[in-house]
Amino acid sequence: MITTFDPRQLAHAPKLELHNGGWTDYNETPARAATILSAVGPTSAARDHGMAPLAAVHDAAYLDFLQVAHRDWIAAGREGDAIGYTWPVVRRRNLDLTRIDARLGRYSYDGGTPITADSWSAAYWSAQTALTALDAVADGQRAAFALCRPPGHHAGADYLGGYCHLNNAAIVAAEARRQGLGPVAILDVDYHHGNGTQDIFAEDADMLFVSIHADPATDYPFYWGHADETGIGAGVGTTLNLPLPRGTDWAGYQPALDRALAAIAAYGTRLLVVSFGADTYAGDPISHFALQRDDFTRLAARLAALDVPSVIVMEGGYATAELGDNVAAFLDASAWGS
Ligand code: OKP
Ligand code: ZN
């Protein structure tokens, strides 16, 4: 399968994240991409599609903020990675404030996603990597894999969080629709709910978002991804959340997968964007499902059986030593027939 990548994604390397009450080593490491690279073989270089496809999904002020945040952090006399500590949650006013700490709060929702001097470039090229995989599918490939990092599915139109800055899956989905490749559906099979993707398309009647993930009653991101979230306004009915309990194995996963695939088929999907996280793996250090390596090939075979052109975008997966082999199992040619 064609794999797209850009080495500029590797430079983003925050040191610490706030996790369960303390500072821990940042989980979303450049080594993740390196191990995937060594397992999946040669890659195609990401091409630059410019800012327009990013601006179709993200607010202009948020894109401006991402590009200057670390510079402004240093200008404020700080060292290291930029991170917020105040989030304007309750009846916030959308004030156009200057201080870097105010803006870090305004444009994020957690304390786990620091911004480094290289974050913008890495996120930009992660999005371009995803758009280049879409090019391959638009040109007739049955499927293509975008080796994206940082990941994207927690990033909303105007916020970062969950190791995500730009929503690669949403950018690809919106661009595919713009190119007339729809109906477009997004299937998110990362362990964590794709709250950013859901928010971006919540009111959109013309984009199906389906997610299978850990029950947010017990797992991050907690405040999105519950089964009663089905879309907003005109978008009611085009969001499908299928939360599953901790400990879910392949037997427990399949009924949700059946429902997800039935919804995608019923939608008349002509282009599928897959937010693929390998953190559903039994050995993942921050997640609690119990899929085995072979289950990723089984999962891929079920998705491939939809017989819809598919852009696969990398999201999470933190068992770094096994991540490459797990991703390779998902991309297995015997599943995708390519
Ligand atoms: C990203 B992806 C914040 C504490 C919780 C966030 C998990 C983000 C997962 N430091 N950790 O969906 O794999
Ligand atoms: Zn995840």
Predicted local confidence at residue 137, as pLDDT: 98
Q: Which atom of ligand 1 is found nearest the CA of 317?
A: 13
Q: How remote is the CA of residue 329 from the centroid of ligand 1, in Å?
A: 23
Pair of tokens at residue 44: 């195609």
Q: Which atom of ligand 1 is found nearest the CA of 113?
A: 10
Predicted local confidence at residue 77, as pLDDT: 98
Predicted local confidence at residue 317, as pLDDT: 98
Q: Give the residue, by CA position, lying nearest to ligand 1 atom 7.
A: 162
Q: Which atom of ligand 1 is found nearest the CA of 28?
A: 1
2-58+117-336: CATH class? alpha beta
Q: Which atom of ligand 1 is found nearest the CA of 154?
A: 12
Q: Is the CB of 219 under 6 A from ligand 1?
A: no
Which ligand is located closest to the Cα atom of residue 26?
A: 1
Pocket test for ligand 1, best of 83, 108, 192, 320 (most atoms within 8 A of CB): 192
pLDDT in tens, 126-164: 999 999 999 999 999 999 999 999 999 999 999 999 999
* List of E strands, 189-335: 208-214, 239-244, 271-276, 310-314
50-57 long-range CB contacts below 8 Å, 24 or more apart?
53/127, 53/131, 53/171, 53/174, 53/175, 53/178, 54/124, 54/127, 54/166, 54/171, 56/171, 56/174, 56/175, 56/178, 57/157, 57/166, 57/167, 57/170, 57/171, 57/174, 57/200
Where helices occur in 13-76 by DSSP H, the ranges are: 30-40, 52-55, 60-75
Predicted local confidence at residue 41, as pLDDT: 86
**Contact predicate 2/146, CB 8 Å:** no
Predicted local confidence at residue 157, as pLDDT: 98
Please identify which residue in the block is written with the tokens 């990398």: 314
183: left (phi over 0), alpha (psi -120 to 50) or beta: beta
Please identify which residue in the block is written with the tokens 């399949």: 254
Catalytic annotation, residues: 154
This complex has an ipTM of 0.95
d(CA 140, CA 31): 32
d(CA 242, CA 258): 11
Predicted local confidence at residue 338, as pLDDT: 61
Pocket test for ligand 1, best of 26, 220, 284 (most atoms within 8 A of CB): 220
Predicted local confidence at residue 92, as pLDDT: 80
Predicted local confidence at residue 88, as pLDDT: 82
Which ligand is located closest to the Cα atom of residue 32?
A: 1
Q: Is the CB of 298 under 6 A from ligand 1?
A: no
Q: How remote is the CA of residue 317 from the centroid of ligand 1, in Å?
A: 10
Closest by alpha carbon to 309, among 178, 159, 180, 184?
184
3-state secondary structure of 87: coil
Q: Give the residue, by CA position, lying nearest to ligand 1 atom 2.
A: 316
Q: Which atom of ligand 1 is found nearest the CA of 18?
A: 10
Q: How remote is the CA of residue 254 from the centroid of ligand 1, in Å?
A: 24
**Which residues does the chain have with pLDDT short of 70?**
338
Q: How remote is the CA of residue 54 from the centroid of ligand 2, in Å?
A: 22
Q: Is the CB of 315 under 6 A from ligand 1?
A: yes
Predicted local confidence at residue 333, as pLDDT: 87
Q: Is the CB of 72 under 6 A from ligand 1?
A: no
d(CA 280, CA 54): 28
